[in-house]
Amino acid sequence: MVKIRLARRGRKKLALYDVVVADARAPRDGRFIEKIGTYNPLTVPASIVLNDEKAFKWLMNGAQPSDTVKAMLSYRGVMMKKHLQIGVIKGALTQEQADAKLDEWLKAKEAKIEAKRDKASQSKDATAKERKAAETKIKEARAEAIRKKAELAAQPPVEEVAEPVAESEAPIVAEEAPIASETETPKSEAPANEAPSAEPTEKA
C-alpha cells in the first residue's frame, strides 16, 4: 500500500517536514517514491508548500494520506477536489460545475486564511505595544526614583534645635546659706584671749 506522509528533517526543536509518497512498509525517514511538498509548523500560520496536482493524482490512484497530511490536503482543497471529481465520475454533476464549486470554495478558503494572517499580525503588534508600554513605565519609575534620590542628596543637613524646657520642668536648685568668712567673728562669741571683765567692787 502507498501512503502520503511526512518525513522529518531539520535540527532539534527546529523540525521541518517533507511531504512524500512512500511504501507503507518503509521507515518514516527512509526511502520514498516521490517528494510532493514541504511543511513548516514553526510559522504562524504553518507554511505548506504542496504540488496539488501530484497530490490529487496520487489520491485518485489510491494512495492513503496520514492524518496530518489529510488535514493539509483538506486545507489546500485537494480533498475537496477529489470529492467533486468522484461526483463527476458518478455523473452527479458536470466537470464545469465541479470546477466552479472548487473555485468558489478556494476563494472562501483564501479569505479565511488572509483573515487569520491579519489577526495574527494584529495580535503580534498589540503584544509588542504592550511590552513597549510596560518597559516605558519601568524606565519612568526608575528615573523618578533616581531624581528623588538626587534631591535628597542635594538638601543641606538639618541641624537639631534644642527644645525649650518648660518652667515646670526646670530643675529646682536649693538656695544655699551664705558661708561666713573665716576672718569674721560672730558677735555673740567673745574673743578667746580676752579675760572676763572684773566685777564692780562693793563700796566700803
Instruction: Give mean pLDDT, residues 2-6.
Output: 92
Taking each helix axis as running N to C, give the angle between helix 78-90 and helix 67-76, from 0 to 180 degrees, rounded to the nearest 10: 80
Task: With a cut of 80, say whether residue 188 has pLDDT above it.
Answer: no
The reported pLDDT for the residue numbered 69 is 93
Can you tell me the mean pLDDT for 156-178? 56
Domain chopping of the chain, boundaries:
2-93
What per-residue confidence (pLDDT) applies to 164? 57
3-class SS of residue 173: coil
The 10s digit of each residue's pLDDT in 21-62 is 999 888 877 889 999 999 998 887 788 899 999 999 999 998
Q: 2-93 — its CATH code? A: 3.30.1320.10
How far apart are alpha carbons 97 and 107 in whole angstroms?
16
Walk across the sheet containing 2-11 and list its strands.
Answer: 47-50, 34-40, 14-23, 2-11, 64-65
pTM flag (> 0.75): no
Distance CA 75, CA 152 (A): 66
